[in-house]
Amino acid sequence: MINIQKNGLSFFQFPNLAEYPGICHGIFTRKGGVSSQPYDSLNTSLNSGDLETNVIKNRSLILQCLEIDNLFFINQVHGTDIVVLNKKDCQPPDYPVTGDAVISNIPGKNIVIQTADCQAVLLYDAHKQTAANIHAGWRGSIQNIIGKTIQKMEKIFKCNPAHITAGIGPALGLCCAEFINYKKEIPEKYWKYKNNSNHFDFYAVSRDQLCNAGVLPENIFSSSFCTKCSSSLFFSFRKNKTTGRFASIIGIK
């Protein structure tokens, strides 16, 4: 991933998405914010236990950094509801909305997914000027929230999956994604992603789900970070339990 320093903050971009001037995107780390332990420091979640004033300040630091005036948050619940922001709709959804993915073709709506070990999966169809941001934790992953979001992009926004560019953000790696109770928690069709010590490769699950939905392998960029191994850089729930959430953002300019 590309590391960028701008207006006092550092963030990452996916090289394949960075080629498009029509979008704004960034994966922020836990560094550069104002929150104190255990939310140090760029925590963007109001539901983590952190002080609201600090979270609001952190969010404004991100706005300044990206030189944008708007962040669109959803109330993430590990489900598969997909929020649609369509400029053709006169009535936008009531805010705040609950869901685990957002699709938008509205310029200036910058969609945020907040994570600490789950994946944020960023999608962009340059032909249809449509972007999506998906919260793919293991619960969403085994319900194929990625495939469902792409189906909705096709149906509502007439996107062609072959035109979609995808980035899979920093998340728990195979090294740390241990599921002791996998026989109860994870459907058998996903057991092929398990190694001999009950660790699952959810990066591979997401790549396969993107490809099965019609995204071309050459248009997918996958982060190689493991959030637990890199917990000084990213918030990790498995590492710290009580911790913050880092922000992954994409929006049409």
Complex with Zn ion: residue 54 or 206, whichever CB lies closer: 206
Sequence-distant (≥ 6) Cβ neighbours of residue 130 within 8 angstroms: 103, 104, 105, 124, 153, 157, 159, 252
Write down the H helix ranges in the chain. Answer: 15-18, 52-66, 138-141, 145-157, 182-185, 202-212, 237-240
**In the bound complex, what is the minimum distance in angstroms from residue 186's beta carbon to Zn ion?**
18
Q: Is omega for the bond preceding 161 within 30 degrees of 0, making it cis?
A: no
**In the bound complex, what is the minimum distance in angstroms from residue 85's beta carbon to Zn ion?**
34
Complex with Zn ion: residue 90 or 180, whichever CB lies closer: 180
Q: Is omega for the bond preceding 41 within 30 degrees of 0, making it cis?
A: yes
**In the bound complex, what is the minimum distance in angstroms from residue 229's beta carbon to Zn ion?**
4
Complex with Zn ion: residue 136 or 226, whichever CB lies closer: 226
**In the bound complex, what is the minimum distance in angstroms from residue 238's beta carbon to Zn ion?**
9
Please give the backbone phi and psi of residue 203, each rounded to the nearest 5 degrees, phi first. -60, -45
Complex with Zn ion: residue 124 or 237, whichever CB lies closer: 237
Instruction: Point out which residues bind Zn ion (CB under 5 A).
Output: 173, 175-176, 226, 228-229
Complex with Zn ion: residue 161 or 169, whichever CB lies closer: 169
Alpha-carbon Rg for the chain in angstroms: 17
**In the bound complex, what is the minimum distance in angstroms from residue 211's beta carbon to Zn ion?**
24
**In the bound complex, what is the minimum distance in angstroms from residue 201's beta carbon to Zn ion?**
11
Helix (H) or strand (E) holding 179: none
For residue 82, what are the CA distances in angstroms to 85, 153, 162, 203, 230?
10, 10, 21, 21, 30
Complex with Zn ion: residue 124 or 234, whichever CB lies closer: 234
Angstrom distance (rounded) from CA 123 to CA 149: 10
